[in-house]
Every structure is written in structure tokens, then in C-alpha cells.
Structure 1
Amino acid sequence: MTPAARLSAAIEVIGTILAERRPAADVLKDWGRAHRFAGSGDRAALSSLVYDALRRRASAAFLMGETLGEETPRALILGMLRLGRGMEADAIAALCDGSRFAPAPLTEAERARLTDATLDDAPAHVRGDYPEWLDAPLEAVFGEARDAEGAALADRAPLDLRVNSLKGGIDKAQQQLEHLSVTPGAWSPLTLRIALEADGKAPPLTVEPAYLKGLVEIQDEGSQIAAILAAPPRGGQVLDICAGGGGKTLELAALMDNAGQLYAYDDDLRRLAPIHERIQRAGIHNVQVRSPKGRGPARADVLADLESRMDLVLVDAPCTGTGTWRRNPDAKWRMRPGALAERVKEQAEILDDAARFVKPGGRLAYVTCSLLDEENVAQIRAFTARHPAFRVIPPAETVLALGERGLALAEAALMRPEGILLTPRRTGTDGFFVAIMVRDA
């Protein structure tokens, strides 16, 4: 496919996404099945165009003089090329020349918008490319910087790897992956970052020997930091109560040097399914996976024997995922206020359940990939009010788990009395909130 044909395909795909309100990944998959002639390079380029347009949906529409919610797919693509890829009007016009498979030529109005329009007078939610109803919650966290924080979330995410210390050190991993231009992370001593290609295409990491042999795992640096700050004790008893596919479970096991006992649980068997193969590949021996049994009121409490025994309980809570918009840009436009309320209720229930497993003197780590106070500081305040035996460990102490890097992180991150907030703009990571509490009695 020519670059112009890819542009036409992107306009078509975005039209389907807007009309049918379906996830972009599903629409792109259907497009690929219906266009078998498109090679892997074409599909990757198309995905990049579509996701870049969704990242900048509000600002692209505004630039082209259209209203969000009534915008056209063509306007989103044209506006994205100007804002997201820095293309001038003439370069865009060269792609939109009306030839076979190319988009129609630019109108005079479109050329004028691409040449002269700016975001100077746009409201914060447009400059930050997030839904208008989230403006107040984001202002409560970031104030006047909310548009800049949102804009950073509209950029592409890097590809971060975590070095599995059970299989080797960061120098070994960096040597084996040197051909992928890896660089060490800024905060986590376990991170290697891969520079993506200009079109955002990631290398086929899962066929690399370093990955196949368990030396590295794909994991955002922010997620890695969260597990390090939880500080699992070597030889201790640890419960990962929302283990999902096992990303943080694997890191906790490595931080514990395969000693002690780590229990991994998730109430959804489908989310938990990948963990078994990942544990084996990582060379982990101290993890016991506890799977849910039964349904509804008859579901067995498979964690009952762990009550009041855990040195650390990690709650990687289900959340709105506002901190991961770089990786899933269409999710922010499909998010509704009701989803936030549902997540807040679910998080409170999980925290209350997790508290029963923490022994006196033990710690409870609460982690979300959300930027919103409702899911973060407000949850911690409400939890400690319901459970006065728990108190928050000051974030200035929590960061010391990273050593000298922790002191630098404290300067970069948003430090709240209840926890630490990482953001793409401040720390170059996905958005993560981390709070550590201790049970005094």
C-alpha cells in the first residue's frame, strides 16, 4: 500500500470506530481480515495512524474547526498529521491528491485550518485531549497543569522491559539486546527501554532469546517501581491479591530472590491464565497460585488459611486506567462517569477484603494505574477511616526502597500525603499511584 492508500484506510477505520463505538483493536483486526493483501508493514502503519488520531481526537477536531462528538474521520486524520506528526499543509496535500486509493484533495477551508489554526484558544480538555467531563477531576489533581499532563498522555508510550534478576543482571540483558538500542531506565534499576521506530512499530521482542529464556519481561517502568516500593521481604509471606496475568507477581518473586512464599490470586480465571507459563519461563519457585473455585455465594474462600499471616499484601486494584491512555487511547473516549463510580466501589471492597490477610506489623500496598483522586487518595483516606489499625507510611519514606534514585523520584513525582503519583509528564512512565500502609495492631 502507498502512504496515501494507508491514509484512506485509516479514515475508513476511524469512521467505523466512531459509528459503531467499538474498540479500535477489534475494528483493525476486522479490517485486516477483509484486506488480506495488506502486509504486516501496512497493518502496522495503519494501526499507528489510527491510534495517533485517537490520541489527539479532541485537539485534531478543534484544529479542523469541528466539534468533538460530531467530528469527521477525515478531520481527525488531517488534524493528527499536523499536530501529532508535525506535517505542513503542503506535505499533507501531497498525500491527499485525489489519485487512485488516495484521499480527496484538500479543500480551501481545510488548507486554511492546517496552515493558520492553533490550539491557543482551546479549552484545557481539548489541549489535553481528554473527555470534557474529566476536566474537573483532573483539575483537582493537577490544577492549571492538567492540559499538559493530558497532552503527555496523548504521546506514544515507550517499550519498557524488566530484567529478571533470577536469570541475570541488567548488563547481561543490555548486551543481548544491544541491537534493539536499549537504554537503562531513569528510576528502576531493572528497566531497559527500547526506542520505537518512527511509526511507533515495536520490534518482535517475544522471539528474542532473552525473552524466551526469561531474562526480560515486558513491563512499564512505572509498574516496576510500584513493586519495588512495596518492598517484599526476602523469606517473607506475600499475597498478590489481584495478580491478573502475573506481571507484578513475577517481579515480587525476583525481588524476594525466590525465597519465602508468594501467593498469587485473582478472582477472574481468564486474567490469571497466563501466569503459569510466565512463572515457568522466569525460573520462579516460590509462587503458589490460588485459583477461585465455585461461583456466586457458593464460591469457596481459597485464601482463608492466609488470614493475619501476610507480611505484605499487594492490591493492584482494577481501575479506570487513566494512567495508561498512551497505550490504549481509544479507552479514554469510551470511558463514562458510571465506570468510575463502579471502579471506586470495587476498589473499596477489595481493600476491605485484603486487610484481613495483613498480620500486625505487616504492610498493605495499594496500586492503581489511575490519575484520579477518587481512585487514589480518596480511597486511602476512606480505607484508613474504616480500618484505624492501618496507617499510611509517609511517601518520603516509601521512595527510599529505590535508594538514591528514590530521592530523585520524589522530586519528579507528585507526592501526596497518602501516596506517590507517577505520570508520563513527570516521570516518563505510565500513570501509577502507590500507597503503602502498615497495620499497627
Structure 2
Amino acid sequence: MKKNPRPPARASQPRRHEPPTSEAAPRPNRPVREDLVLQACLEAYGFVRHEGRLADRALDFTLRHKRNLYSNERRAVAERVYALLRRQRTVDFLLEHAHRDFSRLDKTRQDVLRLAASRILHGEAVDAVARTSALTGSDAGALSALPEAARKLESLPREKRFPIAASLPDFLAERFREVFGADAERAAEAMNERAPLTARANGFKGDREKLRAQLEQEGVLATPTPLSPLGLILDTRANAFTLEAFREGWFELQDEGSQLLGMLVDAPPTRVVDACAGAGGKTLQLAVQMKNRGDLHALDVDEGRIDELRKRARRAGVHNVRTQVIPAEGAEVDEALAALKGKADRVLVDAPCSGTGTFRRKPDARYRLTPEMIQDHVARQKRLLERFSQLVKPGGRLIYGTCSVLREENEAVVEDFLSRHPDYSVRPVAEELGPELGAKVGPGPFLRLAPHLHGTDGFFGAILVRSK
């Protein structure tokens, strides 16, 4: 960073898909109208931090109602809001030490300063930020005082500095230390970078090289994902959802880690269950594994997500999916699943979790999470494994996955299940993925991915085999 305070953790690179803009073709040379961008940033950020809305929905709502913004201005709004959310705790610490009256300012003035400080932490010049944010007097002076505040942060003892520099709640910072040990700072830093825009090629249309050629015809450059043989990283700021290749079902946007979790299923063309299907990203991946044959049962408690899955399946040319909305709890669940009991060759339980592996994409989630919520997730995960394990036939496999990096949601849940089900055993993921790839995704029998090691979201996966 030139002539600006050095951030306690590395600044992130522009994220290309937060959120999709309504204009397909950006005009990078068109000047940004900073007053309109700041107004939209304040509105979206206020929805998230002061009203508790989810960041992606807040931005989508704001940008949908700001029809006068150019495409480059819409991207600027999304990038600035997400950048601030990733560094929220760091920014507040710096401003509290750089501006003597910061805590007493009204909310709007505080938020203007937050957005300005975040821009400086990400490399913009102090004078330009102060001018475009219409900051004068003590507010502009606070931006110039950020280097001294950054030095105060760096001087704190490591155990006090880490949660602030990582912009994590104290209890999550402690868990990161438990999980990652000496790598905790590096792991947290990677969680505060923007995630790449990753596509999974739809095997019904062609492999990823054919997809890459198709994208190049539309002016979109892409590079192969280093781990998944199915993925491409899109090197463009174009809106992926407006591409002809997307509309014709050539690809789905899916993190590389999610693709690897889907690969653990190795779904045969018989009877397979995606027990927590959601909107169907991995369901469609399993359909390709099954070559559109057999019965692929996609289950979820949310009818809206199931409706979205049906639309995506039609676009992808998937024909073997049977969707079913099931009750969340109670005896009605067993009744809904009765026809599948003991009949599935594969059951994937991609369980709801804390989402601690997805902070790159959902930076605001860390501020809503509590220790009690994690305990609730663990209890639900144990119930889901117990419930859906009953669908696995003798000799079949139960694949458990989360987008969490916390051991209590991952290994501990598997260990608890195995302690009560001696007829299940662990199949090391290297036996499914091959020794070369298996060695890259975890030193033990499980899939364990993290941004600082693999460039993916944080994921966990386990293959559990039921004896014959």
C-alpha cells in the first residue's frame, strides 16, 4: 500500500460476482459518480449492519432500486460494501483510535468514515477518498491518522491483536486457533479475501475444455481449477448469468471445494439420495455422474429451493431427478422417507452448518454467529446423519459434508455417529479421489479444505460405508 496505513491482513482482490449486475457489458472508462455510489453503499450497508439483513439480499435489493447506476458503479457499491464487511472489526478499531469522537458520531457519519477507511485499507489514496467521500475537518484528519492507529493495533499482544486484525468475534478467533494452530492468522487472512468466480462444466454438454472454448467465443477467459477436474475459474468481470453458455446450461457456478465434495459421492446409475439438496448445485453434479440414469432423489425442507432446483435441472438437461419437499422435524419425516428406507446406494448429507468455511462469500455471517448457534447446528447435524443413514442399503455409502472448518461440526459429528453405528466404517477419501489428489485435500481419511491451503471455500467431507 503506497503512502497509506499497512492493513493488519492482506487486502482482497475484486470480487466479480457480488452481486450480479443488470448490465452485461461494463464500461470501465465511464467516470464513477461518487455521490451516487456512496449513497447506495450507505443504504446497503445500513440494511446489513443496522437492520440485520443478509448482505447479498441487501445489495440485491439496493441495486435493483438504483436503476440509474452504471454497471461500473454497481460493481463499486458491491465491492466496497463487501470489503468493509470483511474488515468490520479492524476498521472500527482503527477509527476509534484515529478519531477521538468516533463513538459519539451519528450512524450515517460513522458509516461514511467506515467506508472511507476501508477504501484506504484496500489501497486508495487518502486525499482522493476524503474528497470523494466529502469528508473535511476532524473526519478527514482521522483518515490521515489511520497509519498511527494501525501501528497501535500491531503493537497489541498477539492474542488480543488476532481477533481484531482477522475481524472475527473473539469466540471464533479462539476456534480458528484450535483448528489451524500456527496457521490461524494465515487462514483468517485468506477468509478475508474475495473468492474466485468458479464454474463447474456440465458434463452433458461437454468437458471443461469444451466449456472454455465456448466461453472464449463470448469473450470470457477461463483457467482450469487446480484440484477439481470439472472446474474453471472465470477471469472476467462480465455477469456470468447473462452469458449464452450459462443460459444453455453449459455450466453452473459452484465453488471448487463443493465440486470435490460432490466427487466423493461417485454416484452409480441406480438409486441415490441428495438429502439436503438446497437449490441443487451438487444434485446436478450427481446427475452427470449417474449419466442421467437411475433415480436421483433430491430432498429439502424448503419448497422455494426445490423449485429453483427444478429450473436448474431443466436448463442443465437433467432428467433423472425426483424432487421431494420433506418436513423439517417430527414423525412426518419418517413417513415421507419410508419408501426409500434401506434402498439407496448413496446418500449425500450436505448438512446445514455454521458456514465458517464460506466467510469469503458471506462476510457478514461471522457477526451473526454465536456459540449457541454452533451447538444447535451440531445437534441438527447429528439428527440428520441418524435420520438419513436409515436410507442406506447394506454395502451402500453415506457421505457427510459441511461448509464449516470447525472440528465440532465435522470430525466430532462423524465420531459420534460411528460410536453408535458399528456397521459403518470410514473409507479414506484418497481411495475415491486417487492418491495424488487425495494427498492434497487432507492428511487423514477426510476431505478438509481451506482457502489458505487450497484456494477453495472451507469444506469437510467423509465417506462412511455400511457393511453388507
Counterpart contact for 2:40–2:63, Cα < 8 Å: no
> For 1:398 and 1:137, how far apart are their aligned partners in 2?
30
Counterpart contact for 1:367–1:434, Cα < 8 Å: yes
Counterpart contact for 1:4–1:103, Cα < 8 Å: no
Relative to 1, partners in 2 of residues 1:56 and 1:281: Cα closer, same or farther, differing over 3 Å? same
Q: Letter of the aligned partner of 2:460 in structure 1?
A: F
* 1:143 aligned to which of 177, 181, 190: 181
* 2:448 aligned to which of 418, 421, 431: 421
Counterpart contact for 2:306–2:324, Cα < 8 Å: no
Between 1:260-269 and 1:296-305, the stretch displaced more is 296-305
The Cα shift of 1:214 comes to 1.3
Residue 53 (structure 1) aligned with residue 79 (structure 2): no
Relative to 1, partners in 2 of residues 1:166 and 1:34: Cα closer, same or farther, differing over 3 Å? closer
Q: Letter of the aligned partner of 2:443 in structure 1?
A: M
> For 1:359 and 1:158, how far apart are their aligned partners in 2?
38
> For 2:96 and 2:424, how far apart are their aligned partners in 1?
52
> For 1:212 and 1:32, how far apart are their aligned partners in 2?
22
> For 1:242 and 1:223, how far apart are their aligned partners in 2?
14
The Cα shift of 1:78 comes to 3.3
Q: Letter of the aligned partner of 1:111 in structure 2?
A: S
The Cα shift of 1:36 comes to 4.8
The Cα shift of 1:33 comes to 6.3
Counterpart contact for 1:12–1:73, Cα < 8 Å: no
SS state at 1:44 partner: helix
Unaligned segments of structure 2, at least 5 residues: 1-31
* 2:123 aligned to which of 86, 96, 99: 86
Between 1:58-67 and 1:40-49, the stretch displaced more is 58-67
SS state at 1:274 partner: helix
Number of aligned positions between the proteins = 421
Q: After the TM superposition, which segments of 4 or more aligned residues of structure 1 sit over 4 Å from their partners?
A: 29-36, 293-300
Unaligned segments of structure 1, at least 5 residues: 198-202
The residue aligned with 1:186 is 226
Residue 376 (structure 1) aligned with residue 381 (structure 2): no
The Cα shift of 1:439 comes to 0.8
Relative to 1, partners in 2 of residues 1:243 and 1:23: Cα closer, same or farther, differing over 3 Å? closer
Counterpart contact for 1:56–1:129, Cα < 8 Å: yes
The Cα shift of 1:34 comes to 6.2
The residue aligned with 2:16 is none
Deviations 1:236-279 (A, max 9, x none): 32111111111101001101222232111112222211111211
Relative to 1, partners in 2 of residues 1:303 and 1:152: Cα closer, same or farther, differing over 3 Å? same
Q: Letter of the aligned partner of 1:227 in structure 2?
A: G
Between 1:381-390 and 1:126-135, the stretch displaced more is 126-135
Between 1:158-167 and 1:5-14, the stretch displaced more is 5-14
SS state at 2:312 partner: helix
> For 2:90 and 2:134, how far apart are their aligned partners in 1?
24
* 2:243 aligned to which of 185, 192, 208: 208
The Cα shift of 1:293 comes to 6.9
Normalising by structure 2, what TM-score? 0.83
SS state at 1:289 partner: strand
The residue aligned with 1:200 is none
> For 1:306 and 1:298, how far apart are their aligned partners in 2?
14
> For 1:35 and 1:111, how far apart are their aligned partners in 2?
32
Counterpart contact for 1:294–1:300, Cα < 8 Å: no
RMSD of aligned alpha carbons: 2.6
The residue aligned with 1:220 is 255
> For 2:47 and 2:261, how far apart are their aligned partners in 1?
37
Counterpart contact for 1:395–1:415, Cα < 8 Å: no
The Cα shift of 1:26 comes to 4.4
Identity value in percent: 37
Counterpart contact for 1:253–1:284, Cα < 8 Å: yes
The Cα shift of 1:128 comes to 2.0
> For 2:35 and 2:415, how far apart are their aligned partners in 1?
53
Normalising by structure 1, what TM-score? 0.87
Counterpart contact for 1:421–1:433, Cα < 8 Å: yes
SS state at 1:346 partner: helix
